[in-house]
Structure 1
Amino acid sequence: MSKLKNAVSHHDAELAELRADRQVAVEYLKAAMESLDDPNDRAAGLLALRTVAEAYGGLGAVAHEAGISREALYRALSPKGNPTLKTLLAVLKTVGLRLSVESEKHAHA
Structure 2
Amino acid sequence: MNTSALRNWDSAEHLRTEEDMLLYLDACFDEAGDDAAFIAKALGNIAKARGMTDLARDTGLGRESLYKALSGEGNPSFATVLKVMHALGYKLHPELADA
Structure 1 residues 31-81: Cα deviation after superposition (integer angstroms, max 9, x where no partner): 21341x42xx4332211110111112x112201211111122122112232
Structure 2 unaligned residues grouped into runs of 5+: none
CA change 1:74–1:15 in 2 (3 A) is: closer
> Of the two structures, which has the highest relative contact order with CA contacts closer than 8 Å and spacing of 6 or more?
2
Does 2:22 align with 1:29?
Answer: no
The correspondence for 1:49, drawn from 40, 43, 52, is 43
Cα root mean square deviation, aligned: 2.4
| 2:40–2:81 Cα contact (<8 Å) kept | no
Percent identical among aligned pairs is 34
Alignment size in residue pairs: 95
Read off the aligned partner of 1:18 and give its amino acid letter.
L
TM-score (norm 2): 0.75
Moved over 6 A (4+): none
Structure 1 unaligned residues grouped into runs of 5+: 4-8
TM-score (norm 1): 0.69
